[in-house]
Amino acid sequence: MRVEDLVHFCPPGRLIIGTGARAQLPALIERLGYRRGVLVTDRFFSQKTPWVDEYVSAARALGIETVVFDGGAPDPTTTLCDSATAAIRRTLGGHEPDHVVALGGGSNIDLAKALCITLPSGRPVHEFVKGLTAANRPLPFIAMPTTAGTGSEATPGAILIDPENATKVAVMDNSLRPQVALIDPEFTYTCPPSVTADAGIDAFTHAIESYLTLDSAKFDRGGDADPGYSGRSSLTMLFAREAIRLCARYLKRTYDNGTDIEARTGMCYASVYAALSYGSAGLNAVHGIAYAVAGATHRSHGTTNAVMLPYVLEELAAARCDELLDVANIFGIATTDRNQAVRELCKAIRSLIESIGIPTTLKELGIDQASLPSLLNDALAVTRLLKAFPVTDAKAAYERILQRAYDGEPGEFLAAA
């Protein structure tokens, strides 16, 4: 316990984790009183797996009708959301759904969250970007993630791409957190190594970044009585630390051997625990800079996070030395030299990233030196994440991080005494 904490913790209404747990969902939905739903997924799951048909048939046997929308796509756009809204409303023929289910990775879950807002009225999603009011409460949402990484099943935001300017927009509200988050490790068993790596490093980044982020007592909630993010607390740090431990143990194992059921299950727990941490604590510089890098390179979210992670950790050596030493211990680094411990931790994390096939420098992503100033400006524009970076001069820190990530060289730092 930390007496200075200001805890505002918002988990899913129900969290279910277990091999084969998806079979429980229709009976739970019936118990909750829902009778007409929309299942949001993509064509891979509707055409290449039995999961969609199994769910729809089992739900129908209990009197629950389901409209399937399988037009999900990576990095869903506001345009896709609006066209999906119109198509689903036509299929419903004037009937109003009472719940939305998502099956898939973070992209399908984001799209489904947005549809929870747009389906009741048919209004375009852009109208909700500035926030929700009591008059536009979303439909109840149920998430079944098929990757172990994004943590969207425990967070308050729907993230979409605005195709007009290729930037990400977010609809944020705690009412978008799922009524049910159901994690069935079997969904992840057939993930290819590249997806396993990308999702797994995303989970690890969520865990370690939220473990080190701004304290809840210092976090600017903007006067919001129900903030989506509110800084780290002893509660979020418990989840973050366990997620870090699980990633250190299972991420490489899962990448090396996708049939390792213990490792697959361990990464599912890691992803959920990381989400329970960052879903309330929030994130900072890794994601803030990675968003800019993704915009410039169109590389995946996990990859751009991974490239930035070791260099951001170096920058936190003074402000978060004790926590980094704790993480170093989790990674088996045992030295009494604080600077050496942090340095070895950053090296170990970079080696982990490299070992799962992800680049470790901006050069490897195709970024040139001349692009660094524009990347800096784009990263600084994500003020929500900038303000949560617990350093004294965030702009200067971002500049150093970008240069080190370009050069691929460790920084000179002094851990706190």
| Residue 332 φ then ψ, to 5° | 80, 20
Other C-beta atoms closer than 10 Å to the C-beta of 378 total 17
pLDDT values of the chain reduced to their tens digit, one per residue, 417 residues? 899 999 999 999 999 999 999 999 999 999 999 999 999 999 999 999 999 999 999 999 999 999 999 999 999 999 999 999 999 999 999 999 999 999 999 999 999 999 999 999 999 999 999 888 888 899 999 999 999 999 999 999 999 998 887 778 889 999 999 999 999 999 999 999 999 999 999 999 999 999 999 999 999 999 999 999 999 999 999 999 999 999 999 999 999 999 999 999 999 999 999 999 999 999 999 999 999 999 899 899 999 999 999 999 999 999 999 999 999 999 999 888 999 999 999 999 999 999 999 999 999 999 999 999 999 999 999 999 999 999 999 999 999 999 999 999 876 655 555
* pLDDT value for 416: 58
Domains in the chain, please, with CATH? 14-188 (3.40.50.1970), 193-407 (1.20.1090.10)
| Amino acid in the structure at residue 250 | Y
Q: Can you give 273-333 as a three-state secondary structure string? A: HHHHHHHHHCCCHHHHHHHHHHHHHCCCHHHHHHHHHHHHHHHCCCCCHHHHHHHHHHCCC
| 141-145 sheet: strands from edge to edge | 14-17, 180-183, 141-145, 99-104, 36-40, 65-69
Q: Which residues contact 280 (CB under 8 A, 6 or more apart)?
A: 8, 9, 10, 229, 230, 233, 235, 236
Which residues on neighbouring strands pair with residue 145, listed in sequence order? 104
Separation of CA 135 from chain center: 28
Separation of CA 115 from chain center: 19
Report the distance separating Cα 183 and Cα 17, nearest Å. Answer: 5
* pLDDT value for 136: 85
Inter-CA distances, 217 with 173, 196, 292, 298, 382, Å: 21, 35, 28, 36, 21
